[in-house]
Amino acid sequence: STKELRQVNHIYHLATIEDWDLSCSLGIYTRSKPGLDITDVGFIHACYRSQLPIIYKKCFCDLEYSLCLQIDVNSLNVPVRVERNNVGEYFPNVYGPIAISSISCVESYET
């Protein structure tokens, strides 16, 4: 079952520099998580700000450097669904490519 999207203006996504650079040249972001594209998974994994450390620990701790993309929920032209993962946590998932113009801030992310 899905939960209501919290009343937030932004959701977040951790990215590699390589994936971000490629997205900038294409004008859209399509990476679901490191090594997997939206075409592989069906959606782009995102999270709330408070969940960033969980995602970092799970997918990025072995990388030297990662970026945090702040996504403006109100400017997205694709659906966002809040869904439960296999351990019962709820995360917002983006069901379509994210226009670069919907990414309002990009900064380095370290825990």
* 24-46 per-position pLDDT tens digit: 999 999 999 888 999 999 999 99
- Per DSSP, what are the bridge partners of residue 46? none
Q: Which residues of 60-88 are buried (b: 16+ CB within 10 A; e: fewer)?
A: beeeeebbbbbbbbeebeeebebeeeeee
Q: Is the model's pLDDT at 106 over the cut of 60? A: yes
Question: pTM above 0.85?
Answer: yes
